[in-house]
């Protein structure tokens, strides 16, 4: 810009950089948002329950954990009651398939994703 560097310019540039840095999303954050959105308590999400609503919320959470964290599949499974990595893969595939075939489900997942 061929301007002299002064304190005001540095503050302005640093402020823009700080605002652009994104906070990392944790699996705990994902679980909280999904459980709140699906009206399911956190204990149910990590339980052995096979109720459809609970399973679906758990699968959505696993899907987001895989998409938005650097955690391994086995580590994600540990956050959900010690489940196996293959369970996480199955959950992700199930969510993707449902999003492809069910528009209401896709809208719901996209709303949670925005949060």
End-to-end CA distance of the chain: 38
Given this model, what pLDDT does residue 55 score?
Answer: 95
pLDDT for position 4: 79
6-10, 44-48, 67-71, 106-110: which range is least confident on average? 6-10
Binned at pLDDT 50, 70 and 90, residue 65 comes out as very high
Residues 15-27: what's their mean pLDDT?
73
Query: How far is it, in rounded angstroms, from Cα 30 to Cα 11?
Result: 33
pLDDT confidence bin for 104, thresholds 50/70/90: very high
- Compute how many other C-beta atoms are within 10 angstroms of the C-beta atom of residue 106: 14
């Amino acid at each position: 810009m061929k301007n002299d560097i002064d304190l005001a310019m540095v503050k302005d540039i640093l402020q823009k950089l700080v605002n652009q840095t994104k906070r990392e999303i944790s699996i705990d954050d994902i679980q909280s948002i999904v459980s709140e959105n699906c009206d399911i308590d956190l204990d149910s999400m990590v339980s052995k329950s096979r109720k459809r609503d609970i399973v679906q919320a758990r699968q959505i959470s696993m899907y987001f954990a895989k998409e938005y964290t650097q955690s391994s599949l086995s580590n994600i499974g540990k956050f959900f009651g010690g489940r196996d990595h293959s369970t996480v893969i199955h959950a992700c595939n199930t969510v993707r398939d449902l999003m492809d075939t069910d528009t209401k489900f896709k809208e719901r997942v996209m709303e949670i994703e925005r949060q």
